[in-house]
Amino acid sequence: MQYFNLHTHQFTNQSDVLELVNQYPQEFDGAIPFYSIGIHPLYINENRLENDFQVVDEKLALPECLALGECGLDKRGETPFEVQQSVFEKQLALAEKHQKPVVIHCVTAFQELIETKKRLKISVPMLVHGFSKKEELAKQLIDAGFYVSFGKNLLRNPELESVFKSIPNDRFLLETDMIEEGIQDVYALAAKYKGMELSELREIVNGNYKTVFESKTNL
């Protein structure tokens, strides 16, 4: 594996990229080789929650499902926060049951996220995707045991350079989410910011991948 894309909504089928494609239970595509699946806080439909939980539970049991997510908390969403919290906690229980990492969507609810992880004593790795905040918050997340993933905002916002540099090398991953640029572009900028060769960055990300996913996938 030359590149690992932690979170993308587009399967590009590149031979040198392992893509963790985000899937939703109501529109699952079995043709995608590796994926995460979860109930997004912005797309909670209480009328089908029972079925959605069942699908997530079933898919998490499969080896091609590498993670739960994206799921989490979003205070800008229309779904009541207490409903989001309940759905999130039920999904975390499934992640613990199947011992799969969790890809987190979090908007203006980071303290609640940290509190939830601590209160529920979550043992599986939790990865905050699409990080775009300040160094202080990044440190809080790292100290609480989270991994932090960078992508779109790293490319778009030069102010994130100092934040990314502050992340320990064993606690970050990279992604594209929904941007047009490839994961190769994200790696190139990340290597530049870290002041290292691309080959060294690849080794670091591959090591983090192995630590988080303990995958039997051929690298």
Give the H or E element holding residue 112: helix 110-120
Instruction: Compute the distance between CA of residue 18 and CA of residue 101 in angstroms, rounded to an integer.
Output: 16
214 annotated as a binding-site residue: no
Q: Please check whether residue 125 is in contact with residue 147, taking contact to mean a CB–CB distance below 8 angstroms.
A: yes
Give the H or E element holding residue 174: strand 172-174
How would you write 19-86 as a 3-class SS string? EEEEECHHHCCCCCCCEEECCCHHHCCCCCHHHHHHHHHHHHCCCCEEEEEEEEEECCCCCCHHHHHH
129 annotated as a binding-site residue: yes
What separation in angstroms does the CA of 181 have from each of 30, 127, 158, 176, 189?
A: 25, 21, 16, 7, 12
List residues bridging with 104 in a β-sheet. Answer: 71, 128
40 annotated as a binding-site residue: no
Residues within the annotated binding site?
A: 70, 105, 129, 177
As annotated, the binding site for a divalent metal cation includes: 70, 105, 129, 177
